A and B are shown apart, each in its own frame.
Chain A
C-alpha cells in the first residue's frame, strides 16, 4: 500500500544558544500563562494579598508587644463595620477585624512559605534518593506513602496537631509532616520516568556522572509538576491551617483568619455577621488565587493536558 507522503516537518537548524532558548521559552510561557484571564485574576489577587502581608505594619499600627496578637479595645465591643477607627468592625472581645484581616495575611504568608519550603525540600530530597537508589529505601518510602495516603490529610494533621498541643507553631509542624509525602511521590515518579527514558541511557553510555544526569535530565523534568503542586499548596495549606485554627488548635487571640472566624462565630446568631465573614473571605480568596494560578500553570506546563483542538 502506498500513502501519499505526509508533509515533512520543517526543521530549522538551531543557531540559538542554550541560554537564549531557555529565555525565549520563559517568555513564551509567561505570555501563554497571561493569556488566560482567570490566571491573571489569580496573579492580581496574589500580588494584592502578599503586599498586604508585607506592608501590614504600614497599613495598621503593629500591636505591641506581639504584632501577631489581636489588639483588644474593651471599650468597643461588637462594633459594626464602618465604625470610626474600625473599618470592618470589632469582635465580641473588642478585636479589630480589619487588623486581623491584614495581619492574618502575614500569618498566612508565613505559614504557607514555611510549610511549602520544608515539604518541597524534604519531598524532593527523599523522592530523588528513593527513585535513584531504589531497593530497600524506596520500598520503605512507598509503604510510608501508602500509609500516609490511607487517611485524609486534614484528619492526619488534626491528630498530630492535637498531640503537639494547641499552638500555631505546632500547626506548621503538623502540616509539614503531612504534606511532604506528595512531593516525594511526584519526585520519585519523575525520576523513575526519566530513568526509563532512552536519552538518559544514552547519556550514561556516553559516560555522564549520576549527578550530571540528575541535574540535566531528571531535575528539569521533575520541576514542572513540583512547581504546579507547590503553587496550589501555597493556597491549600492556608486553607487547612485556617481550618485547624478554626477548630481551636492555634493560640486564642492570634491574628489569624481561622481563629478570627471562630471568634466571630459566637455573634452570628445575634446578627453580627462581620467578624466571621471578612477573615473567612480572605481564606477563600487566598486559596482561590493560588488555585487559579496553579491551574493556569498546569495547563501551560503540562503538555498532557493540552487538548487536541
Chain B
C-alpha cells in the first residue's frame, strides 16, 4: 500500500477492561477496525457499549487505573510520519500527537471548556503546546540566543514557573512577551474565524459561560482543528445542542474536514445523523463490533440482527410515530462475559451454539463484515437463519 491508501489509524484486537467492585468489566473486548485517510467513520452503539472507550484509546484518555489495557494495538500513521503504536508510546511522543495530529471534540462543550479560562487562553494553549517554535519564528526570536530566548521559549511552551512569569513582566522582556501574545492572538483569531464565529476578536476574551451552546461548540472545534490534525474524534458533538444548531455544526465539521482532508471519527447513538454524515459505519454491541460496512450498504442491507433492530427503531415515513420497535431485553453484564455471541440473550434468532461460540467478523459483501452465524458457515451444527425464525 502507498502512504495515501494506508489507513490513518488501525485498531487491532483492542481490549480495555475496567476494575470495578463487581469485578473486571470487559468494556472493549477485541475490537479491530481502520480509519482511512480523510474519511468519515461512524462508531455507533448503545450507551455503555464501549464506543467512547474505544475512541478515547486513540488519545489514551481512558483513566488507568481503574482501566487496564488488556491487549491489542492502536497504530497511528500521521501524514509523512512513521507509524506510532499509541498504547505503548512514551508520554512525550503521545503528547506531541494529542491535540496536534489527533484532536477531539466532546459531547458537551459547556463541560469540556474550562469555565475559569477565557476562550483565548484555552485555544492559545494548543499553539503554545505544539507550535512554540513557529511562534518564536513569528516574533523573530529563533536565531537569538541567551536568557531572553530561553525565557520566552519556556513561556511559549507553557513551561515557565511563577518566578519566570514575574521576570517576564519586567521591561526588556515585557516587549517580547507582548509580541508573543500578539502572535498567538493572531493564530487564535484565525482559528476562530475558520469556524465562522462572527467577530472572533471579541469572542476571544469571553468566558465559556458567556457564550451560547453553539458558539461553545464552535470554540471547541476551533481548538481541535487549530493544528490541522489528521484525525478528529467527535464524541457525540451535537447531542448537547439545540436541534437548530445541530445541523449547522455538522455542516461546519463537514466543510472543515473536506478543506483540510481530515479523517473524522463520529461517535454517536443517533443513527439518522450517522447516515447523513458518515462514509462508513462501525456498529458496536457490548464491547465488540457486530457489523461494519459502507453507510449506503449497511443501511440498505443490515445483516446483523442487532443492526436490524436498531434500524427498525428509526422512525420513517412507513412507521407511525410512537410505534418504534424497541429491542427487547437488556445489555448483558460485561463482568466475566460468556464466550458466545453477546447479543444472543436478546436475539430472536439465537440457537444454542450462539451462546457458546463467538462468531467472528466475516465479509458478507465488499467492505461489509458481520459477526453473526446467520451469514457465515457454522463449524459443525445448525446455525441460525432469518427465514426459519421469521415464521
Contact = CB atoms under 8 A, between A and B. Distances in A.
A and B touch in the complex (CB under 8 A): yes
Interface of A: 1-8, 10, 309
Nearest to A6: B47
A10 B330 contact: yes
Main secondary structure of the interface of B (DSSP, over half): loop
Interface of B: 44-48, 66, 243, 246, 269-273, 310, 313-315, 324, 326-327, 330-331
Nearest to B45: A4
13 contacts: A1-B243, A1-B273, A2-B270, A2-B313, A4-B44, A4-B45, A4-B46, A4-B47, A4-B310, A4-B313, A5-B46, A5-B313, A6-B47
Contacts of A7: 46-48, 330-331
Given A8-B330, A10-B330, A309-B66, A1 B313 contact: no
A4 B330 contact: no
A2 B46 contact: no
A3 B269 contact: yes
Contacts of A10: 330
A208 B287 CA distance: 50
Contacts of A2: 270-272, 313-315, 324
Contact of A5 (B45, B243, B315, B327): B327
Contacts of B45: 4
Contacts of B314: 2
A5 B269 CA distance: 9
B310 A1 contact: no
A291 to B, nearest CB: 26
A230 B44 CA distance: 51
A4 B331 contact: no
A137 to B, nearest CB: 40
Shortest beta-carbon contacts, A-B, top 10: A7-B330, A4-B269, A5-B326, A4-B46, A2-B314, A7-B331, A3-B269, A6-B47, A1-B270, A2-B272
Nearest to A309: B66
B315 to A, nearest CB: 6
A4 B271 CA distance: 8
A6 B46 CA distance: 6
A3 B46 CA distance: 8
A2 B326 CA distance: 11
A1 B268 CA distance: 12
Contacts of A8: 330
Nearest to B270: A1
A45 to B, nearest CB: 27
A262 to B, nearest CB: 45
Contacts of B243: 1
A10 B328 CA distance: 12
B72 to A, nearest CB: 24
Contacts of B271: 2, 4
Nearest to B310: A4
Nearest to A35: B21
Contacts of B272: 1-2
B22 to A, nearest CB: 13
A4 B326 CA distance: 8
Given A3-B270, A4-B46, A6-B46, 6 more contacts: A2-B270, A2-B272, A2-B324, A4-B47, A7-B47, A7-B331
A10 to B, nearest CB: 7
B323 to A, nearest CB: 13
A6 B330 CA distance: 9
A145 to B, nearest CB: 33
A179 to B, nearest CB: 38
Contacts of A5: 46, 313, 326-327
Contacts of B273: 1
Nearest to B21: A35
Contacts of B270: 1-3
Contacts of A6: 46-47
Nearest to A1: B270
B274 to A, nearest CB: 11
A309 B62 CA distance: 13
A5 B315 CA distance: 13
A1 B271 CA distance: 8
